[in-house]
Amino acid sequence: MSNNNLNNVIIIGGGIAAHTAAIYTARASLKPLVISAAEPDQLSLTTTVENWPGYVDGVQGPELIADSKKQAQKFGAEYISGQVNSVKKTEEGFDIIAGDKSFQTKTVIIATGASARRLNIPGEDQYFGRGVSTCAVCDAALFRDKDVVVVGGGDSAMEETLALYKFARSIKLIHRRDAFKASQIMRDRVLGLTDKVEILYSHQALEVLGDGKFVTGVKVKDLKNDKDYEIAVNGMFLAIGHTPNTKFLEGLVELDDQGYIVTDKRSRTSVEGIYAAGDVQDPIFRQAITSAGAGCQAALEAERHIENRQ
């Protein structure tokens, strides 16, 4: 099947960056088409968001996403479900293949996000958002005076631990090796927090335990003596990295060595007419508010590009 109508802008993604870009381009009368995959975005897997401006008591992640989508639709954005397989440059702009359908567009905004790596252990999915988290900056305040574990050994794990240190009662940092791979400065910061942080080298998380509602513990293995035991905690933070959802873009736009889209300060990629916003191009902050800001930038740049073509 083929859609021969040339869209002004197609936005690929379903998170806050995509919805923000849709709101801005729709208000500019560009009639954006948003193609969203079935996989939920990070915010839709988050419970209370306390750092989004304007919500004194916080807002539920799924609610924020749903309301943002409705707002974009109010101004004329069209949404369809689909998995984008490829984006190709054409004389008029770009050809986007999603399933068995082809869509033509003058500009593209990529907001496909990055997927947090999981352990794929029992209980992990069941308690995700109910004690299992991949973002301490987002959720640390929810664990004030509670006991948590952090899984990982790189800079991300150190950053998660430092964010949790301000709130949690105790933190057990689980790493499967006998030494961290994090940078020296980050290691030193965490290793100095002996009042709250306990390091469990050569340990592996085996299972997330819970009472049916929330996390109550984690089953771990001591790899040196091959013994399993349980740790009573209220939360588990996964800090084993993210994978940007950019496989369908290989060979089209410039990616860094981790697969993130390289953009300038105006959300422009290496290809004129293609813009990127959110976690797909931001391995550092990964916050809802920064993703929304980048979505705004990408939308405004796409609008300028279209105006300059006319």
Which residue is associated with the tokens 């996964």? 238
Which one of the listed residues 41, 139, 279, 282 is annotated catalytic? 139
Phi, psi at 96, each rounded to 5°: -110, 125
Q: Is 139 assigned a catalytic role?
A: yes
Q: Is 133 helix (H, G, I), strand (E, B) or coil?
A: strand
Phi, psi at 37, each rounded to 5°: -80, 165
Q: Please check whether residue 263 is in contact with residue 255, taking contact to mean a CB–CB distance below 8 angstroms.
A: no
Name residue 261's amino acid.
I
Let me know if 2 is exposed, middle or buried by CB neighbors in 10 A (0-12, 13-18, 19+). exposed
Which one of the listed residues 41, 95, 100, 135 is annotated catalytic? 135
Tell whether the torsion through CA atoms of 270, 274, 275 and 280 is positive or negative. negative
Non-local (6+) Cβ contacts of 137 within 8 A are 51, 159, 163, 286, 287
Active site residues: 135, 138-139
